[in-house]
Amino acid sequence: MDTRPKTVSKSRPRMCAEDRRAQLLEVARDLFSSIGYKETTTAMIAARAGVSEPILYRHFSSKLALFHDILEDIATEAKVRLQSIASMGTNAAERLLALVEEFPRISEERRNLFSIVDRALASAKDARTQELLCEYYAGFEGLLRKLVEEGHRDGSIREDCESSSVSWMLVMYGVGFSLLSRLSWVCPGAEPNPGEVARLVGAMIRPQSTS
């Protein structure tokens, strides 16, 4: 009879499916933001997560499907953050200007996530990625347009400032800032200043005093 003590295996506890999926998304987001979608492989994602590729494919049918889920998560996170900012202020103009002033700070704070969107914007070819990007930017445009229209009603924004024109102008500002802020080059005398941009937008949209 074998009386030798039995060795107990000390394997790590297995993650539940939900936690494993979240871990893979987080790892992929880090890789996509640092080296790009094209350069990232499923083997790299799996290795960094400490699993095999077949495990990864249990949760995502392909690298592209994983990427699409990340884009949706980024859009949801950004929408919640911007809607929170847009809920503050005594009138629509103040809420709109708060968004203009805070966006560069959010862009810097979440640069790793915005870089994923920027890279996708520059190179997206598949229909689903393009659809998600359209939804992403259209969501921002809709929020801004709604604020301008509220400003028309409460009198805090000039009625001749057409809502869709103002909202798309600000979306283009946001896209441009996000892309150019990653460069070390800054136009002489034009150091990014969120407060100054908000002041200029305020001067454009606010009704002139009649006093």
Q: What CATH number is given to the structural domain containing 55?
A: 1.10.10.60
Element (H, E) at 131: helix 127-154
pLDDT confidence of 191, banded at 50, 70, 90?
A: low
Does residue 105 sit in the same domain as residue 201?
Answer: yes
CB of 139 closer than 8 Å to CB of 75: yes
In whole angstroms, give the CA distance from residue 27 to residue 72. 16
Domain range spanning residue 105?
72-205
pLDDT digits (tens, 9 = 90+) for 138-187: 999 999 999 999 999 999 999 999 999 999 999 998 888 888 777 765 55
Does residue 32 sit in the same domain as residue 121?
Answer: no
What's this model's pTM, rounded to 2 decimal places?
Answer: 0.81
Does residue 139 sit in the same domain as residue 182?
Answer: yes
Q: Which of 60, 82, 97 is the last residue of a domain?
A: 60
Residue 140 lies in a domain: yes
Residue 166 lies in a domain: yes
Does residue 37 sit in the same domain as residue 79?
Answer: no
| Across 15-19, 69-73, 153-157, least confident range | 15-19
Does residue 45 sit in the same domain as residue 79?
Answer: no
pLDDT of the residue at 11 = 42
Question: CATH number for the domain including 142?
Answer: 1.10.357.10
Residue 87 lies in a domain: yes
Closest by CA to 119, choosing from 52, 74, 79, 164, is 74
Number of domains in the chain: 2
Does residue 52 sit in the same domain as residue 118?
Answer: no
Residue 66 lies in a domain: no
pLDDT of the residue at 13 = 56
pLDDT confidence of 10, banded at 50, 70, 90?
A: very low
Does residue 105 sit in the same domain as residue 197?
Answer: yes
Does residue 21 sit in the same domain as residue 116?
Answer: no
CB of 120 closer than 8 Å to CB of 71: yes
Does residue 89 sit in the same domain as residue 170?
Answer: yes
pLDDT digits (tens, 9 = 90+) for 88-129: 889 999 999 999 988 888 888 888 888 899 889 888 889 999
For 36, residues 6+ apart whose C-beta sits below 8 A from its C-beta are: 119
